[in-house]
Amino acid sequence: MPEFKLIEKLLYKSEQNDIEAEFIIGNETLWSSQKVIAEIFGTTSANISMHFSNIIQEGELDEKEVSISSKDLFKDNPNFIKKSLKKSNNRGRPQKWYNLDAIISIGYRINSKEATQFRRWANKILKEYMIKGFVIDKELLKKGGRFTEDYFDELLETIREIRASERRFNQKITDIYATSFDYNKDADITKEFFATVQNKLIFAISNHTAAELIETRSDIENPHMGLTTWKKAPNGKILQSDVVISKNYLNQNELSRLNSLVEGFLNLAESRAEDRIPMGMKDWKELLDDYLKLRRLPILVGKGKISAEEAREHVLEKYEKFRVVQDENFISDFDQMILDIKRLEGK
């Protein structure tokens, strides 16, 4: 069975009325339930079922290719199957779902003009999904849809919780992104955002990507190998896990600017929720870029001069040499106690 993606709510403007409904995208086509198709063509579910049976009996379409029960369609998604059955008027019996070919064939037997209009609308939705990996229904946004006062109040609470959390700077930004009304962790735009957000912020305040920062500032001749902070700073040992964190190489001024940069973006995110502005994945991505431009900070183009893998490999080689020297010179609390005792005995 092909992978199916649930589009929880889209707005279709039929000749009679506006219809908000769930749709499915799967196997490179759009699917809809018998109940929704009946609404689109202004008829009953029984009439839809009758026309579909005739289409199959006449050999126009193959039933297994163009239809599926909601029970089978959502067998790997128990939460939605429950919601789908609850919404049906079949007293818990699975609805029939039809793909675009079946919908259009049924439509032409009921209302050819509406069928043509629906086909154009559906193809537009499919094209947007195939290109972007998600769908934004602008008509539904204009109408208000699910963006109620409760939606924005909950969003504002979530953003404030993110601000107050102890998450790392880049995690806070990605957590904000994940509040997108159209959030899809598998979308290409999400993968790109998650992969680049840390580099964008580090580059904005240091003119280096995270990998470049580690590569250029790690130095075994430095008492702390070039680090300005580490987990057990200031007196504890520098560990292997410390030297691969780019933020540990930033100086105090850069750290202050980074914190200010992130705090400013979080302020911006909070104001968006307060102003009741819906934010999608594309909106957050563009807002971050525009925010960096507004502050006249360097904008990262490309992926940098060195990869994260190369930087990690090089810095770990340096660390192995640094660790030997660190072990020779390190004075633990026990070592210090012995030195103090000897000093007292010498008196």
Q: What would the pLDDT profile of 221-251 be if each residue is shown by its tens digit?
A: 888 999 999 999 988 899 999 999 999 999 9
Enclosing domain of residue 81? 4-143
pLDDT at 116 over 60: yes
Q: How confident is the model at residue 333 (pLDDT cuts 50, 70, 90)?
A: low
Query: Does residue 263 sit within a domain?
Result: yes
- Are residue 176 and residue 288 in the same domain, yes or no? yes
- Are residue 233 and residue 328 in the same domain, yes or no? yes
Query: Does residue 315 sit within a domain?
Result: yes
Torsion of CA 138, 277, 152, 136, to 10 degrees: 20
- Are residue 40 and residue 184 in the same domain, yes or no? no
Longest dimension (CA), the chain: 109
- Are residue 115 and residue 201 in the same domain, yes or no? no
Which residue's entry shows tokens 């009741």?
276
Q: Which of 91, 109, 143 is the last residue of a domain?
A: 143
List, in order, residues 6 or more apart from 148 with CB less than 8 Å away: none
User: Cα separation of 80 and 84, whole Å?
Assistant: 6
Query: If residue 282 lies in a helix (H) or strand (E), which one and from where to where?
Result: helix 281-294
Whole-number pLDDT of residue 337: 72
Query: Average pLDDT, whole number, for the chain?
Result: 83
Query: Does residue 342 sit within a domain?
Result: no
Prediction pTM value: 0.58
The 3-class SS string of 4-59 reads EEEEEEEEEECCCCEEEEEEEEECCEEEEEHHHHHHHCCCCHHHHHHHHHHHHHCC
Query: Does residue 206 sit within a domain?
Result: yes
Q: Which of 123, 143, 163 is the last residue of a domain?
A: 143
Q: What would the pLDDT profile of 144-177 be if each residue is shown by its tens digit?
A: 455 667 778 888 999 999 999 888 999 999 999 9
Q: What would the pLDDT profile of 16-68 be if each residue is shown by its tens digit?
A: 667 777 777 777 788 888 988 888 888 899 999 999 999 999 999 999 999 98
Which residue's entry shows tokens 């193809």?
123
Q: What would the pLDDT profile of 89-103 be if each residue is shown by its tens digit?
A: 444 445 788 988 999
Q: Which of 143, 163, 185 is the last residue of a domain?
A: 143
- Are residue 137 and residue 204 in the same domain, yes or no? no
Query: Does residue 79 sit within a domain?
Result: yes
Query: Does residue 344 sit within a domain?
Result: no
